[in-house]
Copies of this chain bind each other. A is one copy, B any other.
């Protein structure tokens, strides 16, 4: 067995299906797969969009509904810990992203949390008017920023730049840099430490969107002295469809900036029912109203599993899965018109591989028809997400062989695969 499996990418001639089976047999993360439900016969490579269901989630949902709600009712706020659930789960997420207890809350949607943080960051830098973002980022971050500066109407501007231009764009005019660490389309991984350092050198603040990083790779917010972060519960954290998001505010900023969505849960004394708003001076200042207890409880199932995994090993396997996918595609799908949209170097990408193909939509539909699930992003990107806790090496081999077969037999020419349809 190779100590560094990614080396095999440079020498694919001896790769066989048996080798991938052997890689699974010696994979220290392999036992985690049994903690998730994978539909029979499906190769699921879309955990970057919606993570699979932890087996315990079903019983947990049942317990929250039937016992905590149905039986214990209002006493659950204390008896079953509902009142502190957002904070408790936030503390657990903190352990996955290099944050400390008391720096993270699990709440609301990613975009709403980003709105809170953008406002807070601008509030801390009242004399600066520039926000640096990546134009090709997942749109909700950019839309939220556009909406915020329009409503503030104080001359803020967003500089939309692409990855290679980001460091240069971070100047002393900049109030806040807001970036998604792993690009949703290409999987490109920003250098969090370098960009954060550059922002701080010029007196700017940074917001990291961890939607495609949390649970997918080691993240060290405090190691990089990051100011703020948000992230998603339903991708690599396997929290269920539309699971609550999370929000991180570094201790040093808590209580220093105004949070704009001043709901009662963010009040210094929520149950005093005072007429006037007084913000909490800790992470509670990021809350708004009552969160879905059911959604939070189910999210916790996925997080608990991830916390038991060694993230360094997750990262190693993630790189290996991606490398093998690239290597096998290079070897077996050459000449079919694919190009690699993701960085070839494992250190420069997250846990997904994207391929460009002008017929990408139809090809992805053909893959899905064969029970190999990835997804498509306009105009021509086929995305394959690799989630080391449940993706096997053999899945990589079988997925690429399926892709090869589709291309060789032109199965994607099926007229049923012509029309785009709503996917997330």
Contact = CB atoms under 8 A, between A and B. Distances in A.
Contacts of A244: 292
Interface string A71-110: 1011111100011000000000000000000000000111
B241 A378 contact: no
Most chain B C-beta atoms within 10 Å of own C-beta, residue among A46, A262, A271? A262
B74 A424 contact: yes
Interface stretch (A20-28, A141-149, A218-226): A141-149
**Interface bracket on A:** 35 or more
A190 to B, nearest CB: 18
B78 A50 contact: no
A354 to B, nearest CB: 14
B74 A50 contact: yes
A155 to B, nearest CB: 13
Contact of A151 (B258, B276, B288, B424): B258
A262 to B, nearest CB: 3
A297 to B, nearest CB: 10
Contact of A289 (B112, B241, B266): B112
B294 A61 contact: yes
A112 B289 CA distance: 8
A146 B276 contact: yes
Nearest to A60: B65
A292 B138 CA distance: 19
Given A140-B289, A240-B294, A423 B77 contact: yes
A201 interface: no
Given A143-B262, A234-B290, 18 more contacts: A39-B71, A50-B74, A53-B66, A57-B70, A77-B424, A108-B112, A111-B264, A138-B273, A139-B273, A142-B276, A147-B258, A147-B259, A148-B262, A151-B152, A151-B260, A152-B152, A242-B290, A292-B294
Complex A-B, nearest 3 residue pairs according to Cβ-Cβ distance, in ascending order: A147-B262, A109-B289, A111-B263
19 contacts: A39-B73, A57-B65, A61-B62, A65-B240, A65-B298, A68-B241, A75-B368, A109-B263, A111-B263, A138-B264, A139-B274, A142-B275, A142-B276, A143-B263, A144-B261, A146-B276, A150-B258, A240-B293, A242-B290
